[in-house]
Structure 1
Amino acid sequence: MSDATVRRVAPGLAVLAGGAVLARALSELIGVHELLVAIGLGVILANTLGVPERLEQGLNTHSIWLAAGIVLLGASLTLEAILETGAPVLLVLLATVVVTLTTVELLARNVAGISDRFGSLLAAGASICGVSAVVAVGTSVRASESQIAYAAGIVLLMDAVTLVVYPLVGSYLELPDIVFGVWAGVSMLSTGPVVAVGFAYSEAAGQWATITKLARNVLIGAVVLGYASYYARSDSNGSVTIRTLWETFPKFVVGFLVVVGLASLGAFSSTQQALISSVVDWLFLLAFVGLGTAIRTADLRRLGPGPVLVVMTALVVASVFSLAVALAVL
Structure 2
Amino acid sequence: MKSPGWLPGILVAGVAAAVAFGVHLLLPAVPMLTAAVGLGMIAGQIPAAQRILDRLLKPGIALAARRLLRIGIVLLGLKLSLVDIAGLGWETILVIVLVVGFTFAATLLLGRLLRLPGTQPILIAAGFSICGASAVGAMAAVTRSKDEDTATPIALVTLCGTLAIFVLPVLRFPLGLSDADFGLWVGLSVHDVGQVVATAQIAGPVALAAAVVVKLTRVLTLAPMVAIVGLVERRADARNAALGAGHPDYIERPAAKRPPIVPLFIVGFLAAVLVRTVVPLPEVALGVADTAQTVLLAMALFALGTNIRFRTLARTGWRALIVGLTSWALIASLSLVAVWLLR
**Structure-2 residue corresponding to 1:16:** 13
Give 1:221 deviation, angstroms.
Answer: 0.5
Distance 1:143 1:251, change over 3 A: same
Name the structure where helix makes up a greater proportion of residues. 1
**Structure-2 residue corresponding to 1:90:** 93
Out of 101, 104, 107, the residue aligned to residue 104 of structure 2 is: 101
CA contact under 8 A between 2:99 and 2:335: conserved in structure 1?
yes
Give 1:134 deviation, angstroms.
Answer: 0.7
Output the amino acid matched with 2:163: V
**Structure-2 residue corresponding to 1:297:** 310
Distance 1:34 1:136, change over 3 A: same
How is 1:126-205 mapped onto 2 (pairs within 5 angstroms)? 126-205=128-207
Distance in 1 of aligned mates of 2:4 and 2:135: 33
**Structure-1 residue corresponding to 2:117:** 115
Distance in 2 of aligned mates of 1:41 and 1:194: 20
Cα deviation digits, residues 229-282 of structure 1 (max 9, x gap)? 222222332789xx9452x64321111111111111124222221221111111
Which ranges in structure 2 are unaligned for 5 or more consecutive residues? 243-256
Output the amino acid matched with 2:93: L
Distance in 2 of aligned mates of 1:92 and 1:72: 26
**Structure-2 residue corresponding to 1:36:** 34
CA contact under 8 A between 1:71 and 1:259: conserved in structure 2?
yes
TM-score (ref. length: structure 1) = 0.90
Out of 210, 223, 244, the residue aligned to residue 208 of structure 1 is: 210
Give 1:116 deviation, angstroms.
Answer: 5.7
Which stretch of structure 1 is more off in the superposition, 294-303 or 217-226? 294-303
CA RMSD of aligned residues (A): 2.1
1:277 to 2:290 alignment: yes
Output the amino acid matched with 2:320: P
Cα deviation digits, residues 281-325 of structure 1 (max 9, x gap)? 111111122112222233212222221221211121221222123
CA contact under 8 A between 1:92 and 1:326: conserved in structure 2?
no
Distance in 1 of aligned mates of 2:23 and 2:12: 16
Aligned-residue identity in percent: 28
CA contact under 8 A between 2:118 and 2:149: conserved in structure 1?
no
**Structure-2 residue corresponding to 1:25:** 22
Output the amino acid matched with 2:107: V
Distance in 1 of aligned mates of 2:182 and 2:35: 27
TM-score (ref. length: structure 2) = 0.87
Distance in 2 of aligned mates of 1:79 and 1:236: 36
Out of 290, 315, 321, the residue aligned to residue 328 of structure 2 is: 315
Which ranges in structure 1 are unaligned for 5 or more consecutive residues? none
CA contact under 8 A between 1:45 and 1:51: conserved in structure 2?
no
CA contact under 8 A between 2:69 and 2:296: conserved in structure 1?
yes
CA contact under 8 A between 2:117 and 2:149: conserved in structure 1?
no
